[in-house]
Amino acid sequence: MQPMRILIVDDHAALRKSMAEMLEKQEDVEAVVEASNGAEALTKLMEQSFDIMITDIVMPVMDGYTLMEEMRRLRLASLPKVIVATALARDDFVMRAVELGAKFYLVKPFEPENLLGHIRELANGLPASLPVFPQTQPSLAQSIDDKLSSLFLTIGIPAHIKGYQYLRAGVKMVVENPDVINRITKELYPGIAAQFGTTASKVERAIRHAIEVAWNRGRIESINKAFGCRVCTPEDKPTNGEFIAMIADKLSLERSA
């Protein structure tokens, strides 16, 4: 077997570096290159070839799904075999990754030995007996951050726009203190602005833009599916407050269930 060249794509610097350090110690690994997001990974892929790519899904600038889509469009001479390593464990996320060409799907946290084993299987040309391979069962007490990441990806709000982060902060504030939704301009927007060093008016505009992006992408049915009922129509776009309240209510109900 030829020594492997591996690309690791993850915005979590400490985790990315720990994976790189583990792989660099292996005799059958020639080189390990790191990228902090999909756009950076695309640049690396155009500069050099890799045998294996390990990528997260939720990342700023460009997420893992878009990365896999763009890899195909580039028509590179040699495409790496892809292993997805992410905290997202929902079936629809898994299936989308597989449809885009992922050979294995590892749910964080996973054992380094499992990752190394799958890398060697792919490098040796062995077929992936299970293209979807979660290593651990997702926690029943999935964090709000994980749930919001899953939900926003489902409904088409990209992680790189400012409204994504502002919406996350706003939803968490409302989950912890539901009354704050009634003081959206006097307390919610200023509270988010204080966290990010910006202004309340910029927060309001960025959140409105994030909602518009989801609607323009035509993900209305995905939104309704995520909520388990018909809560939106293409002609009935919610206000910022309605959207935040809707998501906060869903998370609060799941938390109390």
> Of 172, 173, 169, nearest to 206 (Cα)?
169
Taking the mean position of all CA atoms in its chain, how far away is CA 99? 16
Q: Which parts of 133-239 fold into alpha helices (H)?
A: 144-155, 162-176, 189-196, 200-216, 220-227
**Cβ(223)–Cβ(155) below 8 Å:** yes
- Beta strands (DSSP E) in the chain are 4-9, 29-35, 52-55, 81-86, 102-107
- The mean pLDDT value of the chain amounts to 83
pLDDT value of position 30: 94
For residues 98-107, give the mean pLDDT: 88
pLDDT value of position 211: 87
- Alpha-carbon distance 227 to 217, whole Å? 18
- Alpha-carbon distance 192 to 198, whole Å? 8
pLDDT tens digits for 216-239? 775 556 666 666 555 556 567 788
Tell me, what amino acid is at 118? H
pLDDT tens digits for 58-88? 888 888 988 999 998 887 878 999 999 988 7
Q: What angle do the packed helices 38-47 and 64-74 form, to 10 degrees? A: 30
- Alpha-carbon distance 214 to 157, whole Å? 5
